[in-house]
Amino acid sequence: MSLSTAGLEDLTEDLERFDNELQKFSQLLGLDLVGCEADHIALRCHQNATAERWQQGLLQIGTEFSRAMINGRPICLYRLHQPLAVAGLTIKVVELPWPGEKLYRHEGWEHIEIVLRGDPATLGVRAMALIADQALVTPGITFKTSSPQGENERLPNPTLAVSDGRTTIKFHPWSLEEIVASEQE
């Protein structure tokens, strides 16, 4: 799928960089992404004008199915008409957060999220079991747990984020579409 829609040219160029970095990072982790359930790919930007431009472009190639305030900033979710192919995965949802207080090193594609179905209480253990032992002690790789939650979310949504400072892979027990559906119940 091409992102050559007006307003997304920079994301088209950045997708190749992200794809390469994601493949290298997953190899370093010993993580076979092809066997994983990819939920979505996420962007990061520094300015509201960039988020608004990307929003307009994403609306041309997909449908916004959620806009929620999370950690004090809007986060929009788009279901693409044609999925993206990234690191052997097929990804049909894009997450676009508006800028927050944290400045990211790079504007563009920042992470993917993988769904690990099962008990939310054991998410971290199950995710860590997928990662090679040597990656657990590799300098520069960080592991962070969190529990982001939208205003009306009813499903527990713990997260384990694994990052090398440039590329991040996050694990959740639910897909974003399931989380959004829980808000409607």
Rounded to 5 degrees, φ, ψ at 177 are -65, -35
pLDDT in tens, 6-44: 789 999 999 999 999 999 999 999 999 988 999 999 999
pLDDT in tens, 149-173: 555 556 778 899 999 988 999 999 9
Q: Which residues are CB-contacts of 37 (< 8 A; sequence separation ≥ 6)?
A: 114, 115, 116, 117, 175
Q: What would the two tokens of residue 69 be?
A: 């305030």
Percent of the chain clearing pLDDT 70 (strictly above)? 92
Confidence band (pLDDT; 50, 70, 90) for 1?
A: very low
Q: 105 near 166, Cβ under 8 Å?
A: yes
Confidence (pLDDT) at 75: 94
What mean pLDDT comes out for the span 53-62? 95
Of 95, 112, 113, 114, the C-alpha closest to 45 is: 95
What mean pLDDT comes out for the span 115-121? 94
Confidence band (pLDDT; 50, 70, 90) for 2?
A: low
> SS3 for 45?
coil
Q: What would the two tokens of residue 146 be?
A: 């969190």
Of 55, 100, 101, 99, the C-alpha closest to 78 is: 55
d(CA 148, CA 56): 26
d(CA 34, CA 109): 19
CATH hierarchy code of domain 9-184: 3.10.180.10
What predicted TM-score, i.e. pTM, was given to this entire model? Answer: 0.90
d(CA 97, CA 42): 8
Confidence (pLDDT) at 42: 96
d(CA 100, CA 71): 8
Domain boundaries along the sequence of the chain: 9-184
d(CA 171, CA 179): 14
pLDDT in tens, 62-79: 999 999 888 788 999 999
Rounded to 5 degrees, φ, ψ at 23 are -65, -45
Confidence (pLDDT) at 144: 94
